Amino acid sequence: MTTIHPLRQRARPLTPEELLAVPWLSALTLSERDRACDALMVTEALPGDTICRIGKEANFWFGLLDGLLKMSNDDSLGPIITFAGVAPGGWFGEGTVLKREVYRYNIQALRKSRVAGLPSKTFHWLIEHSLGFNRFVMLQLNERLGQFIAARESDRLSDPELRVARSIASLVNPVLYPSVGEVLRITQQELAYLVGLSRQRVNEALASLQARGIIRIEYGGLRVLDQAALRAKGPGA
């Protein structure tokens, strides 16, 4: 008997409000949008749930409507590396779906999260028929490349403030995570998981960035006050 994954068991169609949070739908024609909306599903991931697992077939293209996810190589044979965090509005895994490969990374929920999924069959149909969808995916791939290059550089940095700044800059990227805006809802412990530092070191780095007027620490997260300064400390610096 085939076992259905708990995330699939909890899946349901998106509400009209949730569809408004899918950034690429606006790039589609009316008929393309109808086809995509009919195929889209959303599920609720609990803390610790794995959405994508190393070695598993990519049957969906995923997007985060609300919550926080971590992309890492946990459970692999090599050293554990956190590649990136995934913030609200972000869609991920398009490269794996395009190549019809298995996942080479894990995506895990750090907190209660609503995750949308587009079946790979519909994804490839849109690639073959929709110019707007192709443009969106190309832009995603370009931004993702820059994100991973910056993440690789950050792994080699010893400056906690620079590592924290780069992680924040990545999570407020308006192309990859359009739902975030100026306020990033994240705890210091969650940021520590993503950066690979202790909570104390992250706290010290955030205090320094706040003292310089780059961010302001708020209840449940932080507000970016100076995007340019953050990017100067962040990806591409």
Considering the chain, tell me which residue range(s) the CATH 2.60.120.10 domain(s) occupy: 6-151
Q: Measured between alpha carbons, how far is residue 41 from residues 61, 137, 155 in Å?
A: 11, 19, 35
Closest-CA residue to 43 (of 71, 5, 78):
5
pTM recorded for the entire structure: 0.85
Closest-CA residue to 123 (of 45, 51, 28, 56):
28
User: For the chain, what's the residue count?
Assistant: 237
Looking up tokens 């587009």 gives: 118
| Local confidence band at 228 (pLDDT 50, 70, 90 cut-offs) | confident
Q: Is the pLDDT of residue 4 over 80?
A: no
| pLDDT recorded at residue 235 | 42
Average pLDDT of the chain, as a whole number: 88
Q: Determine the average pLDDT of the residues in 99-128.
A: 95
Closest-CA residue to 92 (of 105, 79, 78):
105
Q: How far apart are CA 49 and CA 30, in angstroms?
A: 34
CATH topology classification for 158-233: Arc Repressor Mutant, subunit A (1.10.10)
Q: What is the DSSP letter of 3?
A: P
pLDDT digits (tens, 9 = 90+) for 93-105: 999 999 999 998 8
Top pLDDT among 42 and 4 is at: 42
Architecture of domain 6-151: Sandwich (2.60)
Q: How far apart are CA 233 and CA 172, in angstroms?
A: 13
Considering the chain, tell me which residue range(s) the CATH 1.10.10.10 domain(s) occupy: 158-233
Q: Determine the average pLDDT of the residues in 111-121.
A: 97
Q: Which amino acid is at 133?
A: F
Q: How far apart are CA 83 and CA 78, in angstroms?
A: 14
pLDDT digits (tens, 9 = 90+) for 67-78: 999 988 765 455
Q: Which amino acid is at 108?
A: Q
